[in-house]
Structure 1
Amino acid sequence: MRNILFSGNVKVFDGILTGMLSIFMRTKSTEPYRIYIFTMDVSHLREDFLPVSDEQIAFLNEVAKSYNKENIVIKIDVTDIYKEEFAGCPNEGAYCSPYTLLRLFADKIPEIPDKLLYLDADILFNREPELLYDIDVKGYEYAAARDHYGKYLINPNYINAGVLLFNMAEIKKTGLFEKARHLIKTKKLLFADQDAVYRSTTAKKMLPQKYNDQKFLHKSTIIRHFSKRLFYLPYPHTANIKQWNVSAIHRIFKYEAFDDILFEYIYLKKKFEQDTKR
């Protein structure tokens, strides 16, 4: 069983659906996937900060099992843990949302296995997920690729926390997440979760950029991460184009490599919307 972790609120449905489809449609393995989704209700901070719904989980689980009957999607509500750990902390208004902090609770959930691949909801696999998941992380807390901009602006080995292959046994031994949570609670950080993980690391395995390509798509790219990026034309500006913005993926990036995934996503999203109207 391969173990995947996503996190977010009710609005990450499109990202998790497309990310899951890319896993199932690119894998060459028959081994099943267990997909955990950390979520919470912090609607007191913002009205739309609501947990992933049970209807969304049920549909994602149905999709997962259509590819392998042993696949499973599991929702874990961490609202109480969040309130205990981070309520009112300096990073509650993180650059993205407080949901970016939820991966830091993985050591506090008893059922989380020793090997876990964390994925942001704005990724697509271009090649087989097992090329990443099967990397040996013995003796390391995690494996990660460099942050495309941070490796120039912050440190050559500054990591991007959107794709992290966790060795949970080692993390519990070194206290990585405990240290990261302490930083979140005591210091205002520019890139809250990412900075906290980076600063708290004892031993990390650096991966080539192809395992988390945040700007380009090559034949060798294993994960294309659709994070915010800088464009120089027609004038310098940033844009946050996600994979579920299908027309923009074609019009701006001119990608065709993900068409099978995105066309299936369009069909399934429409089916979900029709089913929930009944």
Structure 2
Amino acid sequence: MKNILFCGNCKVFDGMLSAMLSIFKRTDSKEPFTFFIFTMDVSHLKPDYTPLTDGQVAFLEELAKSYNSENRVVKIDVTDAYMREFSGCPNEGCYCSPYTLIRLFADLYEEIPEKLLYLDVDILFNRDIDLLWNTDIEGFEYAAARDHYGKFLIHPNFVNAGVLLFNMKECKKTGLFEKCRELIKTKKLVFADEGAIIRCTTKKKMLSQRFNDQKFLYKNTVIRHFSKRLFWTPYPHTANIKQWNVTKIHKIFGYENFDDILYEYIYQKNRFEREICSVSSVSSAETQKMN
């Protein structure tokens, strides 16, 4: 069983859907997947900070099982843990969202297995996941690739936390997540959870950039991470182009090798909106009539 962790709210459904499709379409192994999804309700901070809905989770699980009947999608609501650990902390208004912090709860839930691949939702697999999953991380807390910009601007081994292959047994042994949570609660960090993970690491395994390529796409790239990047033309600027912005993926990056994934994503997203959203609308209308 391969174990994946996504984190986010209802707004990142498109990322989870497209990332999952890339895994299914680029993986040859018949070994099943369990996709754990950490989500929470912190709408008191912002109205759209609401959990992934049951309808979204059900749709993702149905899709996963269409590729392998043993695949699972497991939603874990971490609202209580967040309120207990991070509510009102110095990093609650971090540069992305409070959802970037909740992977730091991975050691608190018994369902989480000893080997776990955390993925940001703005990634697509270009090659087989086994190239990463089969990495030997015995004796390491995790394996990660360098951050494209951080390795030049901050430190040569500054890692990007968007792809982390965790050895949970080792993490619990060293107390990695506990130390990270304590740091998040007590000190304002520029890079929030990423900074906490880097500061609290005892031993990490460095991966080739091809396992988390944040700027370019090569033939041997395993994961293309669509994080914010710098463009020099027509003038120096940054842009945050995600894989579900299909038109921009074609127009700006000129990528065609993800077309099978992205066209399937468009089809499945439309199907979700037709089937799930229409059912929700009918149920809502019936409830109003009863009231």
Deviation readout 1:17-41 (Å, 9 max, x if unpaired): 0000000000010000000000000
Which residue identity does 2:95 align to in structure 1? Y
Gaps of 5+ in 1: none
| Residue 19 of structure 2: aligned partner | 19
Q: Secondary structure at the match of 1:184?
A: helix
Matches within 5 A, 1:150-161: 150-161=150-161
| Residue 56 of structure 2: aligned partner | 56
Distance 2:94 2:25 in 1: 33
Shift of 1:277: 1.0
Matches within 5 A, 1:82-93: 82-93=82-93
Gaps of 5+ in 2: 280-291
Deviation readout 1:114-164 (Å, 9 max, x if unpaired): 000000000000000010011010000000000000101111000000000
| Residue 75 of structure 1: aligned partner | 75
Shift of 1:192: 0.3
Does residue 278 of structure 2 align to residue 277 of structure 1? Answer: yes
Shift of 1:218: 0.2
Does residue 148 of structure 2 align to residue 129 of structure 1? Answer: no
Does residue 101 of structure 2 align to residue 101 of structure 1? Answer: yes
| Residue 162 of structure 1: aligned partner | 162
Matches within 5 A, 1:139-158: 139-158=139-158
Deviation readout 1:159-218 (Å, 9 max, x if unpaired): 000000000000000000111111100111111011000000000000010000000000
Which residue identity does 2:118 align to in structure 1? Y
Distance 2:263 2:28 in 1: 20
Distance 1:234 1:199 in 2: 37
The size of the alignment, in residue pairs, is: 278
Deviation readout 1:241-273 (Å, 9 max, x if unpaired): 000000000000000010000000000000000
Q: TM-score, normalization: structure 1?
A: 1.00
**Structure whose alpha-carbon radius of gyration is higher:** 2
| Residue 182 of structure 1: aligned partner | 182
Distance 2:263 2:68 in 1: 20
| Pairwise CA RMSD | 0.4
Which residue identity does 2:33 align to in structure 1? Y
Which residue identity does 2:254 align to in structure 1? K
Q: Percent identity?
A: 70
Does residue 267 of structure 2 align to residue 253 of structure 1? Answer: no
| Residue 117 of structure 1: aligned partner | 117
Shift of 1:111: 1.1
Q: TM-score, normalization: structure 2?
A: 0.95
Structure 1 residue runs of 4 or more that deviate by more than 6 Å after TM superposition: none
